[in-house]
Structure 1
Amino acid sequence: MEGLTINPVALFMQAGPVGKFVMMLLAAASLWCWAIIIEEIILIRRLRGAIAEAHEKGESDLLAPVIAEGRRAQSLRVPGESVGERRARIVETMGRAARKVLVATEGGLPNLAIVSSLAPFVGLFGTVWGIMTSFAGIAESQDTSLAVVAPGIAEALAATAFGLAAAIPAGFAFNRLGGSLAHTGESLGDFVEEKAISFVAAEAPAAPAPLAEAA
């Protein structure tokens, strides 16, 4: 294996055109995944902070559209509507707005699943191509020595490693961030329920004051 250096840059430089293309594609996918991961962490934390602020103060800039939809539903009068039906209608209206906030927070999260599932196969393509290169070298030189097959095998294994380097963080982050977003969505749903109840309670007639006892 003389002349063959085992590090990502050297393996990339020693690979053939197809191997280089596969490695560049997987490296770009890996960088893209890390950008999505960082962005998603920021968005989820921002939404969690907005929910906590809304619970504490009743208002939040990020959740302003959700609260505004609740107020709009509160101002709408439906003849013969019971208190329970009114609350359910407000919850449904706010829930639609809340789902838009969740979709915006989701951002590029589904793309992590795509990279996680496709990157190993792209790496496998590079692996197969590297092995084919090794066989072609054997056929051309009529020699099965390690010096002949090593470059192709190294290229094949490097493509596999690049594929795993992109797929593993993407798969792990997709599951962890997806679970975190689901919990955040539940908290947002709880806020919608509580806010709808407060809208209905704000309109409830005050209980009559007890009559003073006769002296």
Structure 2
Amino acid sequence: MAAPTLSFIDLVTHASVIVKFVMILLFAASVYGWYLIAKLELLHSKVTKEDHHFEQVFWSGAELKTLFQKAQVNPKKQGYEAVFYEGFSEFVKLRQKGVSREERLAGTERMLRVSLARQQTPLEQGLPLLASIGSVAPYIGLFGTVWGIMNAFMGLSQVQQATLAAVAPGIAEALIATAIGLFAAIPAVLAFNRYSAKSEAVYQQRVLFAEELTGLLQREAS
């Protein structure tokens, strides 16, 4: 039987069952990683546009009550609008109860913190999985490589003379697993760093907005 060539397809085809399983697992992890990357990119793009639009409306001179009424009828409010709605709603509720100015502002600030955390959760979904792919995929690939090299050297016991031509295909098959592991891990690590930073930046901007809203409510409560 002719020895397998060193083309990529032939190397994958002639790999052992364990190495093939590792390759399939890493390929699936890579595909899922790119799915998470695309999902996070679309989400951050949407969030940025919505926050920028509401910020422009908020500072256009519109009354807080008018903005609250508009947000009240919007079932898909997110970001700045959701933070504003929940904070102002709590402020109005506490004012109707007749609590003191200090308690009213403290309660509003607590609600704003809760709202900020709630709005941050969707931006961080998928980040732990990207981190896991980035950290685990190289080791899974290394496992496939070690297994493949073991099989390659074990196969040498069945030949009378060990040559580079005899062992090279087996080692090449094994190294493909490491290559696929790196192919899955590198984009995942880069994406994790990128979207972690973007998520933190969005959070800080929303915290600043919440503080500005608190300042406006303090003047209204006086």
TM-score by length of 1: 0.85
Greater CA drift, 20-29 or 184-193? 184-193
Q: Which runs of 5+ in 1 are unaligned?
A: 205-215
Q: Give secondary structure in 2 for the equivalent of 1:5.
A: coil
* Residue of 68, 88, 95 corresponding to 2:85: 68
Q: Give secondary structure in 2 for the equivalent of 1:110.
A: helix
User: Residue 2 of structure 1: CA displacement?
Assistant: 6.2
* Residue of 108, 111, 116 corresponding to 2:126: 108
Once residues 49 and 164 of structure 2 are traced to their aligned partners in structure 1, the CA distance between those partners, rounded to angstroms, is 59
1:23 maps onto 2:23 in alignment:
yes
Q: How many residues align?
A: 201
Once residues 126 and 174 of structure 1 are traced to their aligned partners in structure 2, the CA distance between those partners, rounded to angstroms, is 25
Deviations along 1:62-110, one digit per CA (max 9) or x if unpaired, are 234322221222120464443xx64343232122112111111222111
Does the CA-based 8 Å contact 1:127-1:156 persist in structure 2?
yes
1:41-56 mapped onto 2 (5 Å cutoff): 41-56=41-56
More helix by share: 2
Does the CA-based 8 Å contact 1:112-1:174 persist in structure 2?
yes
Once residues 109 and 188 of structure 1 are traced to their aligned partners in structure 2, the CA distance between those partners, rounded to angstroms, is 20
Identify the residue that residue 150 of structure 2 maps to in structure 1. 132
Greater CA drift, 9-18 or 122-131? 9-18
Identical-residue share of aligned pairs (%): 36
Deviations along 1:9-60, one digit per CA (max 9) or x if unpaired, are 3332121111110000000000101110111111112222222122111367
- The aligned amino acid for 2:109 is V
TM-score by length of 2: 0.82
Greater CA drift, 90-99 or 55-64? 55-64
User: Residue 5 of structure 1: CA displacement?
Assistant: 3.0
Does the CA-based 8 Å contact 1:87-1:197 persist in structure 2?
no
Identify the residue that residue 36 of structure 2 maps to in structure 1. 36
1:169 maps onto 2:187 in alignment:
yes
Q: Give secondary structure in 1 for the equivalent of 2:161.
A: coil
Change (3 A) 1:88 1:71: same
Once residues 143 and 186 of structure 1 are traced to their aligned partners in structure 2, the CA distance between those partners, rounded to angstroms, is 67
1:4 maps onto 2:5 in alignment:
yes
Change (3 A) 1:201 1:6: farther
- Report the aligned-residue RMSD: 2.1
User: Residue 144 of structure 1: CA displacement?
Assistant: 1.3
1:175-214 mapped onto 2 (5 Å cutoff): 175-204=193-222
Once residues 143 and 132 of structure 1 are traced to their aligned partners in structure 2, the CA distance between those partners, rounded to angstroms, is 18
Greater CA drift, 88-97 or 171-180? 88-97
Once residues 202 and 11 of structure 2 are traced to their aligned partners in structure 1, the CA distance between those partners, rounded to angstroms, is 43
